[in-house]
Amino acid sequence: MEISSTQMGAADLTRSEVLARLRERIVAFAASRYAREGAEDLAQEVLVVIHEKYGHVERLEDLVPLSLQILRFKLFAQRRKSVRHGEYTQVSVDEYPLHGDAPDPEEMASRKETLEKLTKAIARMGQRCQELFRHKLTGKSFPEIQVLMGAEALNTIYTWDHRCRKQLLEWMGGRWEP
């Protein structure tokens, strides 16, 4: 019976050399099915299990299938854990950055432009419309405005308000937003 050179080479290896070769195979197998950084960690975990539970197994021919089976179990456990933690559905923070509390510069410019248009349009309006808007902006109700402006009927205030808003909208360009 002849012994091949690979069988003789495996028999002559020390325990640390066997584990070093085994580690290379484990990392290569894990890297083909998992991320490279994770493959290193998984290989280390497999070697710990082999050292603690299978210290009696010495031959590389026996250790390779054993270590790959342990690695498969570790990979399944890792996947179950990542699914349980929702890691597959997580979105990268770089893809969708969080918005700060500060207003958007475009929105600020738009508001400033609208405010300028509104200020110019109100300045062009008559005294009654300016007074009506001033009372509305201070939070007065229509019955209070009726008393302050000396109108006989509440419907008169509603009519003035409607006409003033219509004229203001026209002077703002036909719409409230820029």
pLDDT in tens, 71-97: 888 888 888 887 888 776 777 777 777
Is the domain of 14 the same as that of 77? yes
The parent domain of residue 129 ranges over: 121-178
* Residue 156 confidence (pLDDT) above 90: yes
The whole-number average pLDDT for the span 35-59 is 83
Domain membership of residue 100 (yes or no) is no
Is the domain of 62 the same as that of 15? yes
Please state the domain count of the chain: 2
Domain-terminating residue out of 84, 102, 133: 84
Domain membership of residue 66 (yes or no) is yes
Residue 122 identity: I
Domain-terminating residue out of 84, 105, 129: 84
CA pair distance 20, 95, nearest whole angstrom: 40
Is the domain of 80 the same as that of 131? no
Is the domain of 70 the same as that of 128? no
Q: What's the pLDDT score for residue 144? A: 94
Residue 98's Cβ-count burial label (10 Å; 0-12, 13-18, 19+) is exposed
